[in-house]
A = this chain, B = another copy of it.
Amino acid sequence: MDIKEKFGQRVKTLRKEKGMSQEELAEKSGLNRPYISAIEQGKRNVSLEVMEKLAEALQMDIKKFFE
């Protein structure tokens, strides 16, 4: 499993822990749903600025994605 896949799985797990749908995470983060879906499938080489948007939407620190 590469780093993009690992990251995607963490996003999915953390999103579900918050009881959020992909649609809700998209809305809160300002990203679109297909992009969230692609991230969770490990298909995107996510950048710092996108990580920050996801972390803010999930109300947690970026480091949680790497724990």
Chain A positions within 8 Å of B, measured between CB atoms, are 3-4, 7, 45-49, 51-52, 61-63, 66-67
Going nearest first, the 7 A-B pairs with the smallest beta carbon separation are A63-B66, A45-B47, A63-B63, A3-B52, A62-B66, A3-B48, A47-B47
Residue among A3, A48, A52, A66 with max Cβ neighbours from chain B (10 Å): A48
* Copy total for this chain: 2
A66–B66 CA distance with the chains assembled, in angstroms: 9
Shortest C-beta distance, A15 to chain B (Å), equals 17
Contacts of A45 in B (CB 8 A): 47-49
A5 → B minimal CB distance (Å):
10
CB pair B52 A63 closer than 8 Å: no
